[in-house]
Amino acid sequence: MCFPEGYRPLLGAHETEKAIKDAKDIFERELSGALRLSRVTSPLFVPSDSGINDDLNGVESPVRFTVRNLGAKHMEIIQSLAKWKRMALADYGFQTGRGIYTDMNALRPDDDIDAIHSIYVDQWDWEKVMDAEERTLDYLKATVRTIYASIKRTAFLLSEDFPVLRDTLPEEITFVHSEDAAAEYPDLTPQERERELARRYGAIFLIGIGYGNPPHSGRAPDYDDWSTDTGSGHHGLNGDIIVWDTVRSDSLELSSMGIRVDHDALLRQLEIRGCEERKDLYWHRRLLSGEYPQTIGGGIGQSRLCMFLLHKAHVGEVQASVWPEEARAEARSHGTQLL
């Protein structure tokens, strides 16, 4: 079952389309102004041998193709722009305290297809130059609070035009470390811990994604810094923004972000994951030679945020993709449709 019992959409089809655009327009303005981000154009595909593409958890296979007029050069559809953005900040000469954001459209055919997952991924990818001295948990938390405030303002402004869309978020986001969550709920799975914490607090930032044996969740070794010791036995300068979805009565991850690896963190994490051969790839050579600035960045799901703000039960109500026929039939039985 994809839809909660008794679910009915608060907005009709035409209102939904207008609200999607309003939500995206408002949030882009709020985010770019708060973090001082300039909009840029980004690629849909990159060379397969560049090391630029994001391998996510390391098991997903990107969509690949060859370009006939470039000697059958192998290319691949991006899975995210985590590494490309940092390279762009260096090549464009952005200064400390400024950054970029872009529309990221990706295909992840290995992803699940359900109420919150699709093989089509659309998100705001953003990246900002920071001082090396700001590689601290306090700086990460301050940035998270800024993003959360942008989400809260978007919810308020959207409710001005669509009063039926009530803001369900708490005033403040709560920070929880994944190692503390594991200690508090040793018998729960990582997903069950997220659900319990999101239900309790309404909105959390779960710190330290990728570290541990086993880790709370997978994270590639070459963009977020998840292995740095931040004190008190904790590791990680990254995390996820997770909210409590009152429509589905479940947790919903809206964003993955973090302070990016420096020279030492990259080498350490490549060794931890047993993929030290990546040091010889184009992107990695440039980082290790000191060409890239220290940055913080992440991705914020566009369809996920719209689904949450518009009180939708299925991501297919705000995103055009492919869905199982049984999911489409279930949607029709609840007075809605999957795009």
- Over residues 181-210, the mean pLDDT reads 93
Q: Residue 165 forms beta bridges with which residues?
A: none
- Over residues 209-217, the mean pLDDT reads 74
- Over residues 189-195, the mean pLDDT reads 93
Distances (CA, A) of 285 to 9, 50, 89, 236: 50, 10, 16, 23
Q: What is the mean pLDDT of the chain?
A: 90
Rounded to a whole number, what is the distance in angstroms from the first to the last CA of the chain? 18
Higher local confidence (pLDDT), 327 or 296: 296
Give the model's pLDDT for residue 55: 61
**Residue 56 confidence class, pLDDT cut points 50, 70, 90:** low
The set of catalytic residues is: 54, 108, 123, 240, 253, 256
Give the model's pLDDT for residue 60: 62
Give the model's pLDDT for residue 301: 94
- Over residues 39-61, the mean pLDDT reads 74
Could you please report the per-residue DSSP string of 65-95? EEEGGGTSEEEEE-S--HHHHHHHHHHHTPP
- Over residues 102-123, the mean pLDDT reads 86
Give the model's pLDDT for residue 295: 96
Q: Residue 65 forms beta bridges with which residues?
A: 75
Give the model's pLDDT for residue 314: 92
Q: Which fold has domain 13-333?
A: BirA Bifunctional Protein; domain 2 (3.30.930)
| Cβ atoms 43, 84 nearer than 8 A | yes
| Cβ atoms 305, 298 nearer than 8 A | no
121 has pLDDT over 80: yes
Please give the structure tokens belonging to residue 282. Answer: 């184009």
